Amino acid sequence: MSRVSRMTSSPGRRSLLRVVPPLVLLAVLAYLPYLPVELPGVLPGRVNGPGSMQLLATCLVFAGFALSYDVLFGRTGLLSFGHALFVAAGSYLLTISLSAWSLPLGVSVLVALGGSTLLALVVGAVALRVGGIAFAMVTLAFAQAASIVVLRDPGGITGGEEGKALPRSAVPDLLVGVQNAPYRYWLALGFVVVAIVVVRLLVASRAGHAMAAVRENEPRAAVLGISTYRVKLLAIVVGSFLGALGGVVHALVLGGSGPHLTTSEFTLSLLVMVVLGGAGRTWGALLGGFLYHYADARLTEASGSGLFESLPDGLRSVLGQPLFVLGIFFVLVVYFAPAGLAGIGGRVVRKAVRP
């Protein structure tokens, strides 16, 4: 093969490596509900069993949550401590619309997404009047105020500390019951696909390039004529919309809304997911969100099952604290792979593509 042929084939090879693996992965994930295989220690029972399907569905939802937060933090450089507010708004507005207002499901979804987007516009417009750590504190204040409202349960519409369950009659039969866990899994997978498409289109657009400019050097972007305020507000709105959509799917997958979605700890966990997977990388945020929730759920299950009872006291107490184990893993990843898990994968792909 001539040198020219090798040069022309290289871009095609790179394009295939960008397109084919995601499509193959999507096909594999979509096929999992038909896979009656057991993976001991990895999943609770068969891959297509109700427990495994529910766990994988929740992990996918959290992957989408992380991607929505990455629009702010990874793509635009905005450190927000209030992203939980919009996730919770989507979840609770859906639940309240169905249970308290007796609206149809389609209308309730529109109310949840529309109300959350409007809330993002208001909060973003106020919070962006300041920058840096002050911006983070303002978003945190809004989120904490919402958390207090949810816990106080005004009018009995939020359920307080116990949360609010979706009325069974208002949810399609395909999303209710143990036997329909695969449909909830496909719903969560669909949410992730939508989030990926939206983020990809955003990144490739002029607005996405402006977000990257603001992230790298905001004063220089302003000198070049970019309205940094509008760019950052757009990032907040898009990220919050995806977060609210995730909140809607989360409520449908779990059958209701819980107050843990309103806490600052939830937003901090999203930050950890993004940094763990790789900030500013689509697959990094998805991988970080999926693995973080998977590890948290499995470690919590293992710590309560007596699996570590035969270990020494010191080791048993450490392994019995999922957040402690996740914290150690996070520190190791940040130290040895500053670009996150996606950075490691990127280096492997580049070596594979290199002639």
Our CA angle for 323, 326, 327, nearest 5°, is 85
> Is the model's pLDDT at 168 over the cut of 50?
yes
In the 8-state DSSP scheme, what is residue 37?
A: -
Give the contacts of 53 (CB within 8 A, at least 6 positions apart).
Answer: 32, 33, 181, 182, 184, 185
b (16+ CB within 10 A) / e for 201-223: ebbeeebbebbbbbbeebeebee
Q: What is the pLDDT of residues 53-96, one digit of tens each?
A: 999 999 999 999 999 999 999 999 999 999 999 999 999 999 99
pLDDT number for residue 8: 41
Confidence of residue 311 (pLDDT cuts 50, 70, 90): low
Query: In the 8-state DSSP scheme, what is residue 225?
Result: T
pLDDT digits (tens, 9 = 90+) for 2-52: 444 444 445 556 666 677 878 888 999 999 999 999 988 889 889 999 999
Q: Work out the mean pLDDT of the chain and round it to a whole number.
A: 88
pTM of the predicted model, to two decimals?
Answer: 0.90
Write out pLDDT tens, residues 271-288: 999 999 999 999 999 999
State pLDDT tens for residues 230-286: 999 999 999 999 999 999 999 999 999 999 999 888 988 999 999 999 999 999 999
